[in-house]
Structures are given as C-alpha cells and as structure tokens.
Amino acid sequence: MNQNLAFADYAVFIIYFIVVSVYGYTVYRKRKQDEQDAKAYFLAEGNLTWWAIGASLIASNISAEQFIGMSGEGFFLGIAVAAYEWLAAVALIIVAVWFIPVYLKNKIYTMPQFLKTRYNESTALIMAVFWLFLYVFVNLTSILYLGAVAINGLAGGEYLHVIMIGLAVFALFISLGGMKVVAYTDVIQVAVLIIGGLVTSYIALTTVGQYFGVGENAIAGFKVLMREAPEHFKMIIPKPTATSSQLDIDKYLTFPGLMSYLAGIWIINLNYWGCNQYITQRALGADLQTARTGILFAGMLKLLMPLIVMLPGIAAYVLYQNGHLPQLVGGKDGAYSAVLTFLPTGLKGLSVAALTAAIVASLAGKVNSISTIYTLDIHKKYIQKQAGEKQQVNIGRIAVFAAMLLAVLFTWNDILGIGGVGGFTYIQKYTGFISPGVFAMFFLGMFWKRTTGTAAIVGVILGFVLSVLFNEYAPMLFGNETLLYTAYPNGKGAFEIPFHICMGLSFFFTMLAMIGISFAGPKVNPKAFEIDSEMFKVKPQTTVLIVITLLIIVALYVKFW
C-alpha cells in the first residue's frame, strides 16, 4: 500500500492539466472580443448554456474543504452531514424560482449593486468592502491552504509551497480569461471531480468488502458499513440526555438534530446559494429560463455529492474501528487522504486530479468574483469613474492577480492559523457569523416593499453582534437552560449552544428588529423592487426538474431518517 504517487499517477494528472489548459485557451481565443466588453468578461453575459452554469456552480462550490472536511464529518457524524448537500438542492429550487427572477428583472449584476439599488450607496459600499475582505482572507486563503496541504500529503509531504504556487498559478491561468473561460473549464473540472470522486468511493467500498470477507463488491461493502456502523446512517442526531457521552454531545453540537432543520441549515444554504456573488454570478448574465435550468441542474448534481465526499469518510470510520486503517493520521480530517492510499497506481492520480479540479475551480471562481466586485462596485464608482470597457477588464485582471498574491502570502506560513482550527471550521465560523444579518437584509429587501436602508444597516450589524453573543457569551450571561436554547458541555470546560441554533436565533431577532425599524418608514419604500406573479411562473420542463429533485430527496429521507 504505497501512500506516494507513482509515475502513472503523475501522467494521469499531467493529462488532466493539459486538457483543461488547452480547452481554456481555446475558449479564450474564441471570445477574445470580451476584452472590449466588461460585462461579457465578468459575467459572460448571454454566452453561458444551462449545463455550463450548473457545472460551474458545482465546481465553484465543491473544494478541498468539502473533500477533506465533509469526508471528516462523515467519519465523525455519518450520513447526517449529507443534509448540507441534499437541502442545498431544495435551496437551489427556491433560488431558481423566486430569487433569480428578482435579480434579472432589475438587471442586478453584483450583490453590492443589489444593495445600492434596493437600499442606498452606503450599504452597498460597506458590504462591498466587507465581501472583498471575507473572500480574500477567509475563503480564498482557506481553499488554497487546505488544498495544498491535502495534495502535499499525497505527494510525499515535502512539496507544500511548490503545490501552493502551482494551484495559484493554475487558477490564475483560468481566471484571467474571464467568466466564460472559468465556466466552461468548470465543465471539465466537474467531470473529473465526479468521476474521480466516484472511483474513490467505489474503491473504498470494495476495500471494506475485502477486509470483511464479503468480496470486492461495492454493494456488499455498503451493506457492511450499514451493519458495522448503523448509527452513521441516521439523518437525525438525537438530543443529548443526562446520561449521554461527551462524544454524543459533540455530535449534537455539530448538527443538532431536528433543530437544524428549523434553524441554521436553511440560513446557511439560502444565504450561500442566493445572496453570494461567488455563486449567483454564474446565472446573472443569462436569460431567466437558461439561468433556472442551470441552477436546477446544479441542484440535481448536489444529490450526488454525499456519495463522493461523505461516503469515503464512513468507510474510513468502519475500517479504522476494526484496525484496518493504521495510516489514518490527523483525526477525522485525515479520513479522505487515508482512503486514497487504497487506490491503485493511476487511479490515485485520477483522484488527485479530482481534488485539484475542485480546488482550482473554486479558486478561479472566487478570484473572478473578487475582481468583479472590486472593478464594478468600487474602482469604477469611486476611483476611476471614466474607465472604459477595456480598462475595466485590465483592472479586473490586476485585481485577480493581487487577490491571489495576497492569498499565497497569507497561507505561506499559515499566518491566519487556518491549520489550527481546520479549513472547514475556519470558513463556517467566519461566514456563519454574518449569514443571519446578510440573509435577512436580502430576503426582506426582495419581498417586503417597506424595508428601509436604515433597517438594512442595522440588520447586518445586529446579525453579527447577535451571532457573537449566542455563540460565545450567552451561556455565561444568561445560563445554560433558557426558553430560547439549551447549552451543552463542549468537553473544554465550557458550555456551548449548537451553532445552527445560534444562527436561527440571530436571524429571528434580526428580522424582528428590521421589521420594527421599517414600520417607522413609508408603507412602500421608493426603492422597493417591482414584483408581479408572472415573474415566478415556471415552464412545464422546469416543473418536471423540480418534482424529480424533490421526489429523490423525499426517498432519501424516508430511507435514512
């Protein structure tokens, strides 16, 4: 069982690199005229097909924190963590039917532009600067660091900085060509990601079958997992009791059973998929039907993701508990890398290519969004108001390079301490604190005409303050048992409220405050969007896609409830 890569693995990886590079360059040459059109460069306006939009959404979403982090949560929690993926499919339906029509009808191209159009310029500028800092110093850095660490471990552990630079340069090569190059190369990235991920899951299951004497059969291996770890195939984590172990409490703190479905998980998904420049940018340049079909296609692909990023973690758990995985290091976050050691020569290279595809696609998509926000919402409005189309494209490219350079500098020696808390936790912690306020601001801004700009600013600030309060200080200040929450011992000498419940409470009180403030304003805010029922009507083929997705999700929950 060789943990390092062989020549055949490197050959597979190099072929992947050449195919993506050549295809990306071909797309770039065909659309070189986009350099004269800023919106075409940043948004690929009118140039993306539904399958390119859907594939790009998934490629941008799935990265090292999913492969490593979600596989680790599969090792720790089991199938309950699949809720993030399966409910994301429902969130994408909501975004496709109700959010995207509002954006497209009002010609919204960036999230700060939404805030300026609906509220005021101050709100837009504050959030534009905030999003730039969040994308560069939280998302971009953690994706680059966690991805480099994961691939370095598979390559022998001696090439961290070389791999870090390689990932950054590869992502730059793609992103400098604009959104069309990013989106269409994402189609290849997703294909590699899915094929490589499925191969890894298949090998993991056949390995389980081999070790437990049922033969090298994936279905038999899956049955072994269900037999050996039945608690890992329950969607709902039970609420702790007085006799619960610390391990059971830790699981509930991570994913608090039914309360997750009443609170945080919807805020996480709807904010991420519906109010996030990094994601929505792929659909904002298309017509409504193309955007909707692409988003729903992404939702169907999300149903596959637990099979790719979570199942290897459960396989690692069963193998480890029975002494068949001595190569597991680093706790749950080492589960995916440990499983990859079972792959034969060549297939290991394919899995590394899949992991690289996920990382590079996310990096390229992120820096493209950074450059879009900076160029259209800051530079063009406040620094160089007379910038022409070609100048805006050049400014966007400089922003891409600057953002990636900052990410490399801050991850070189892990200045931000990402390795200490883990990339998945690092992203969830810092984005989760602002999600309740941001989502409340967008949701009320879209669908309640009375919402005011003052309420929006208060909502963002209050949502953050309440998130910090409930996550860090509430048990100390108000006690461990109240009408609103129950805090549980976290095994570190303190009590903690489950993170999803904190998000739900923050969102609820933020909404109340924004509604109360808005009642002091006019009955219809002059900046409110015009909305009519025709915007939300869907075509029969769209309805079919929605029904199929929902039926599959219902079947999965019936099976694993």
DSSP characters over 176-208:
TT-HHHHHHHHHHHHHHHHHHHHHHHHHHHHHH
Task: Quote the pLDDT of residue 2.
Answer: 47
What is the rounded distance in angstroms from the CA atom of residue 191 to the CA atom of residue 365? 17
Name the domain boundary from 369, 389, 416. Answer: 416
Task: Quote the pLDDT of residue 44.
Answer: 63
- Among 249-258, 408-417, 538-547, the range with the most confident prediction by mean pLDDT is 538-547
pLDDT tens digits, residue range 384-415? 888 888 899 899 889 999 999 999 999 988 88
Domain count, the chain: 2
* 75 touches 212 (CB < 8 A): no
In 3D space, the residue among 350, 309, 362 whose CA is nearest the CA of residue 333 turns out to be: 309
Name the domain boundary from 416, 450, 484. Answer: 416
Model confidence, pTM? 0.88
Task: Say which range, 42-51, 216-225, 513-522, has the weakest mean pLDDT.
Answer: 42-51
Task: Say which range, 65-74, 176-185, 319-328, 527-536, has the weakest mean pLDDT.
Answer: 176-185
Residue 78 falls within a domain, yes or no? yes
* 168 touches 278 (CB < 8 A): no
- What is the average per-residue pLDDT within 489-498? 90
Tell me what percent of the residues of the chain surpass a pLDDT of 70.
94
Q: Are residues 449 and 519 in the same domain?
A: yes
Task: Quote the pLDDT of residue 432.
Answer: 77
CA dihedral 366, 393, 47, 290 (to 10 degrees): 50
Q: Are residues 164 and 39 in the same domain?
A: yes
- What is the average per-residue pLDDT within 248-256? 90
What is the overall mean pLDDT for the chain? 87
Which string of DSSP letters, residue by residue, matches 227-295?
HH-GGGG-SSPPPP-TT--HHHHHHHHHS-HHHHHHTHHHHHHHHHHHS-HHHHTTTTTS-HHHHHHHH
- What is the average per-residue pLDDT within 21-32? 76
Residue 221 falls within a domain, yes or no? no
Residue 558 falls within a domain, yes or no? no
Task: Quote the pLDDT of residue 414.
Answer: 82
Q: Are residues 200 and 348 in the same domain?
A: yes
In 3D space, the residue among 221, 285, 255, 262 whose CA is nearest the CA of residue 53 turns out to be: 285
What is the rounded distance in angstroms from the CA atom of residue 141 to the CA atom of residue 504? 28
Q: Are residues 407 and 488 in the same domain?
A: no
Which string of DSSP letters, residue by residue, matches 299-346?
HHHHTTHHHHHTHHHHHHHHHHHTT--TT--SGGGGHHHHHHTTSPTT
* 118 touches 527 (CB < 8 A): yes
Task: Quote the pLDDT of residue 421.
Answer: 55
CATH number at 61 reads 1.20.1730.10
Which string of DSSP letters, residue by residue, matches 354-408?
HHHHHHHHHHHHHHHHHHHIIIIIIIIIII-TT--HHHHHHHHHHHHHHHHHHHH
**422 pLDDT above the threshold of 60:** no
Q: Are residues 442 and 410 in the same domain?
A: no
Residue 22 falls within a domain, yes or no? yes
- What is the average per-residue pLDDT within 60-65? 77
Q: Are residues 464 and 437 in the same domain?
A: yes
Q: Show the tokens assigned to 434.
A: 């602002």
Q: Are residues 344 and 408 in the same domain?
A: yes
Task: Quote the pLDDT of residue 348.
Answer: 80
What is the rounded distance in angstroms from the CA atom of residue 187 to the CA atom of residue 55? 5
Q: Are residues 158 and 105 in the same domain?
A: yes
* 205 touches 218 (CB < 8 A): yes
- What is the average per-residue pLDDT within 419-438? 72
pLDDT tens digits, residue range 474-487? 999 999 999 999 99
Q: Are residues 437 and 500 in the same domain?
A: yes
- Residue 1's pLDDT band, with cuts at 50, 70 and 90, is very low
What is the rounded distance in angstroms from the CA atom of residue 539 to the CA atom of residue 546? 11
Task: Quote the pLDDT of residue 95.
Answer: 95
In 3D space, the residue among 231, 264, 265, 262 whose CA is nearest the CA of residue 248 turns out to be: 231
Residue 208 falls within a domain, yes or no? yes
Name the domain boundary from 416, 446, 478. Answer: 416
Task: Quote the pLDDT of residue 34.
Answer: 53
What is the rounded distance in angstroms from the CA atom of residue 503 to the CA atom of residue 492? 22
Residue 391 falls within a domain, yes or no? yes
Residue 421 falls within a domain, yes or no? no
Task: Quote the pLDDT of residue 420.
Answer: 61
Task: Quote the pLDDT of residue 45.
Answer: 61
Task: Quote the pLDDT of residue 441.
Answer: 95
Q: Are residues 100 and 130 in the same domain?
A: yes
Task: Quote the pLDDT of residue 33.
Answer: 56
Task: Quote the pLDDT of residue 92.
Answer: 96
In 3D space, the residue among 339, 355, 327 whose CA is nearest the CA of residue 146 turns out to be: 355
Q: Are residues 122 and 180 in the same domain?
A: yes
Task: Quote the pLDDT of residue 330.
Answer: 65
- Domain assignment of residue 460, given as a range: 433-530
* 266 touches 281 (CB < 8 A): no
**3 pLDDT above the threshold of 60:** no
Residue 454 falls within a domain, yes or no? yes
- Residue 443's pLDDT band, with cuts at 50, 70 and 90, is very high
**4 pLDDT above the threshold of 80:** no
- What is the average per-residue pLDDT within 97-124? 91
Q: Are residues 526 and 405 in the same domain?
A: no
